[in-house]
Amino acid sequence: MRFRPVDLDTAPEVDALLRRIGTGPFDRADVTALPGRNDTWAGRTTGGARVFVKRLTGPADDVAARMDRALAFERITAGAPGGVLRGPALLGSDREAGLLAFEYLHDARSGAELMADQEFTPELARRAGTALGLLHARPAGAERLDRAVPGMPSAALLEALPAAAFEELSGGELETWRLLQNDGPLIGAVDRLLAAERAAPRVPAHCDLRLDQFLVTAPAAAGGRAELYAADWEEFRLADPARDVGGFAGEWLHRAVHDIVTSRGDTDTAAFAGLAMTRETVLARGAQKLARLRPLVQEFWGGYRDARPDADPGLAERATAFAGWHLLDRLLAGAARSNRLLGIERAAAGIGRTALLAPARFTHAVGLGDPS
What CATH number has the domain bearing residue 69? Answer: 3.30.200
Are residues 30 and 163 both part of a single domain? no
User: Is the pLDDT confidence value at 349 over 70?
Assistant: yes
Query: For residue 108, is it within any domain?
Result: no
Query: For residue 186, is it within any domain?
Result: yes
Domain containing residue 156: 148-201+240-366
Are residues 332 and 260 both part of a single domain? yes
Beta strands in the chain (DSSP E): 26-32, 39-45, 50-55, 90-94, 99-103, 109-110, 203-205, 214-216, 228-230, 237-239
Which of 46, 74, 103 corresponds to the end of one domain?
103
Query: For residue 118, is it within any domain?
Result: no
pLDDT at 223: 61
Residue 276, SS3 per DSSP: coil
pLDDT at 228: 96
Mean pLDDT of the chain: 90
Are residues 273 and 361 both part of a single domain? yes
Are residues 195 and 67 both part of a single domain? no
* C-alpha dihedral sign at 354, 355, 358, 360: positive
User: Is the pLDDT confidence value at 6 over 90?
Assistant: no
pLDDT tens-digit map of 42-58 = 999 999 999 999 999 99
Q: What is the β-pairing status of strands 109-110 and 203-205?
A: unpaired
Residue pair 210/247 in contact by the 8 Å Cβ criterion: yes
| Count of CA atoms in the C-beta half-sphere (13 A) of 314 | 15
Residue 218: which pLDDT band, with cuts at 50, 70 and 90?
confident
Are residues 97 and 26 both part of a single domain? yes
Are residues 183 and 93 both part of a single domain? no
Query: For residue 122, is it within any domain?
Result: no
Are residues 179 and 324 both part of a single domain? yes
* Whole-prediction pTM: 0.91
Least confident of 203-212, 218-227, 360-369: 218-227
User: Is the pLDDT confidence value at 2 over 70?
Assistant: no
Are residues 267 and 167 both part of a single domain? yes
pLDDT at 284: 76
CA 361 to mean position of chain CA atoms: 24
Are residues 152 and 256 both part of a single domain? yes
User: Is the pLDDT confidence value at 344 over 80?
Assistant: no
CB-based contacts of 13, cutoff 8 Å, min separation 6: 94, 97, 99
Residue 217, SS3 per DSSP: coil
Residue 161, SS3 per DSSP: coil
pLDDT tens-digit map of 236-250 = 999 999 999 999 999
pLDDT at 266: 64
The count of residues in the chain is: 372
Are residues 91 and 156 both part of a single domain? no
pLDDT at 167: 80
| Count of CA atoms in the C-beta half-sphere (13 A) of 306 | 15
pLDDT tens-digit map of 88-107 = 999 999 999 999 999 999 99
Phi, psi of 51 (to 5 degrees): -135, 145
CA 288 to mean position of chain CA atoms: 25
Instruction: Answer left, alpha or beta for residue 39, where phi above 0 means left and psi between -120 and 50 means alpha.
Output: beta
Are residues 187 and 43 both part of a single domain? no
Count the domains in the chain.
Answer: 2
Per residue in 340-356, is it b (16+ CB within 10 Å) or e — as a string?
A: ebeebbebbbebbbbbb
Query: For residue 37, is it within any domain?
Result: yes
pLDDT at 267: 62
Query: For residue 225, is it within any domain?
Result: no
Query: For residue 233, is it within any domain?
Result: no
Which of 37, 69, 103 corresponds to the end of one domain?
103
Which of 103, 130, 157 corresponds to the end of one domain?
103
Average pLDDT over residues 16-29: 95
- Estimate the share of the chain in helix, then strand, then coil, as percent rounded to the nearest 5: 50, 10, 35
Average pLDDT over residues 302-331: 96
Phi, psi of 91 (to 5 degrees): -95, -30
Residue 180: which pLDDT band, with cuts at 50, 70 and 90?
very high
pLDDT at 201: 96
Query: For residue 2, is it within any domain?
Result: no
pLDDT at 315: 98
Are residues 362 and 302 both part of a single domain? yes
Residue pair 356/152 in contact by the 8 Å Cβ criterion: no
pLDDT at 278: 60
Q: How far apart are CA 240 and CA 245, in angstroms?
A: 10
Residue 120: which pLDDT band, with cuts at 50, 70 and 90?
very high
